[in-house]
Amino acid sequence: MASLTINGRELDVQAAPDTALLWVLREHLGLVGTKFGCGAGLCGACTVHLDGAAVFACLTPLESALGRSVTTIEGLSPNGDHPLQKAWIAEQVPQCGYCQSGQIMRAAALLQARPQPSREEIVDAMAANLCRCGTYQRIVRAVERAAQETSS
């Protein structure tokens, strides 16, 4: 039995230490906002925060998360009103929506580390996450909007 801090709550899970955090979240804890994309750390659909840093949950073994804080899209905001979530809607970012939880989590880690990033910093940070629908310009605008709103 492993004890994890997920979205601010202590949770126990029974899984092998080398089980990918992605599968612990989705299958053991029912937190399905974190998506499976490629399983190889190439697409970013599974992005979560580990002690505030964006990581690929598909590549992070359960044992690496023990004693650390994990935040998923479900824990970003209890009401779905995080500035990035509101900006995503305002900028009409999603098309299919599959990658969006990972995109938002990557952007949230960026804004936590750099509250007022330049456009180039946004593009560089977000390059780790792919969007097959190609909404990259809208993603950049949404991150810029959220940065402006949080600085006001």
All structural domains of the chain with their residue ranges = 2-75, 83-150
Question: Percent of the chain having pLDDT more than 70?
Answer: 99
Q: How far apart are the first and last CA of the chain?
A: 45
In our burial notation (b when 16+ CB lie closer than 10 A, e otherwise), range 65-89 reads beeeebbbbbbbeeeeebbbbbbbe
The token pair that represents 67 in the structure block:
């004693």
The token pair that represents 45 in the structure block:
């659909």
Q: What is the CATH number of domain 2-75?
A: 3.10.20.30
CB 2 within 8 A of CB 62: yes
3-state helix, strand and coil shares in percent for the chain, rounded to the nearest 5: 40, 15, 45
pLDDT digits (tens, 9 = 90+) for 59-118: 999 999 999 999 999 999 989 899 999 999 999 999 998 999 999 999 999 999 999 999
Q: Does domain 83-150 have CATH number 3.30.70.1400?
A: no
The structure's pTM equals 0.95
CA–CA–CA angle 140, 70, 135 (5° rounding): 20
